[in-house]
């Protein structure tokens, strides 16, 4: 091979090598992949929120005084609005249950709590993104009974991931149906009690008491 051809071949090879290095440098300088992780830690799960102004656990107030007059009497009590938070990250649902046993005067006389009733409470999302799918509310008469799904409570609020009807059903996240994840403001209705005409009482008043329980239960 002539010296001229050898010089030309060497020049071509130098150009190719230079171009390859230039391409590699160009890729590193203008584009670089990296992997970044985020760890998300679930909270303690569904609970009453007291970390708000005037926040408190929900309680049943005293009923109004009743004066017997020979006809059934209606009296009422209230449950102040409260907040429910589900920060578990599991989305398996939860419910708010209420039980109100019979009233007693401590001397062997009782007032049946079967006459207690409450219309369905109102529930709204307390924060943006809170899942309202599968969240429903329920009215009951007689809070001494179960609602056939729990042995102790009447479920006045239910967040059910299997609910395909109420509020359009629960959403699906990564292929898993979830419900009740977020913060919820619950406003109960007035709790009404019918006092029968044959209720035992004495002049000056007879006080009947009951221990009402309002609880959050994990799962629908």
Q: Is the pTM of this model over 0.85?
A: no
d(CA 80, CA 209): 19
Domain definitions of the chain by residue range: 47-218
At 68-116, the pLDDT tens digits run 999 999 999 999 999 999 998 888 899 999 999 999 999 999 999 998 9
pLDDT at 21 over 50: no
**Do residues 64 and 75 make contact, with C-beta atoms less than 8 angstroms apart?**
yes
**Averaged pLDDT for residues 13-17:** 50
């Amino acid at each position: 091979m002539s010296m001229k051809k050898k010089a030309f071949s060497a020049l071509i090879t130098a150009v190719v090598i230079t171009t390859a290095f230039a391409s590699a440098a160009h890729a590193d300088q203008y584009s670089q992949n990296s992997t970044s992780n985020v760890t998300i830690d679930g909270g303690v799960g569904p609970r009453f929120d007291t970390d708000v102004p005037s926040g408190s656990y929900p309680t049943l107030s005293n009923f109004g005084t009743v004066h017997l007059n020979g006809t059934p009497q209606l009296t009422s009590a209230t449950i102040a609005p409260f907040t429910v938070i589900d920060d578990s990250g599991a989305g398996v649902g939860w419910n708010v249950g209420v039980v109100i046993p019979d009233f007693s005067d401590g001397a062997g006389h009782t007032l049946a709590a079967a006459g207690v009733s409450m219309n369905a409470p109102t529930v709204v999302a307390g924060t943006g993104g809170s899942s309202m799918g599968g969240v429903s509310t329920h009215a009951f008469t007689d809070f001494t009974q179960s609602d056939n799904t729990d042995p102790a409570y009447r479920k006045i609020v239910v967040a059910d991931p299997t609910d395909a009807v109420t509020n359009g059903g629960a959403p699906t996240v990564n292929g898993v149906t979830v419900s009740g994840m977020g913060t919820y403001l619950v406003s109960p209705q007035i709790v009404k009690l019918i006092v029968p005409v044959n209720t035992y009482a004495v002049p000056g008043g007879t006080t009947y008491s009951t221990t009402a329980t309002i609880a959050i239960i994990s799962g629908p």
